[in-house]
Amino acid sequence: MLRLKTFFHEPSSYLTSLQRSIAQAFHRLYRQRNHILHGGITSSIALPPTLRTTARLAGAGMDRVAHGLYVDNLKPLELAARAKLAIAMADRHMPTDSLVSLLGS
């Protein structure tokens, strides 16, 4: 509930913060990948939570890219550009349905 209040009060800053958190999760995944591939370390204590977090994010991202490509006829870079622009332009004075549409279709 608190997250939704924050989202509707300051959508652009909330979405930017969310984007930053997701990027950090994927950076953790990349570091774990380096441990495995370059160091042969598979017993990292951080590996299970990293996989648990990023697997869902990766799946949701691939779903959105596929939807954008096959339904909206948008190439992945076009979809990313539109998303970045929508986040930058998000405003607390936007209609609620416009803000909700930023969360995905």
For the stretch 50-59, pLDDT in tens is 999 999 999 9
User: What domain range is 58 assigned to?
Assistant: 2-96
**Distance (Å, rounded) from C-alpha 94 to C-alpha 96?**
6
Instruction: With respect to residue 104, please indicate whether it lies within any of the assigned structural domains.
Output: no
Q: How confident is the model at residue 4 (pLDDT cuts 50, 70, 90)?
A: confident
- Count the domains in the chain: 1
pTM of the shown model: 0.76
How far from chain centre, in Å, is Cα 66? 15
Q: Is residue 103 part of a domain?
A: no
Mean predicted confidence (pLDDT) in 9-13: 84
Residue 98 pLDDT greater than 90, yes or no: no
**What's the pLDDT at 12?**
84
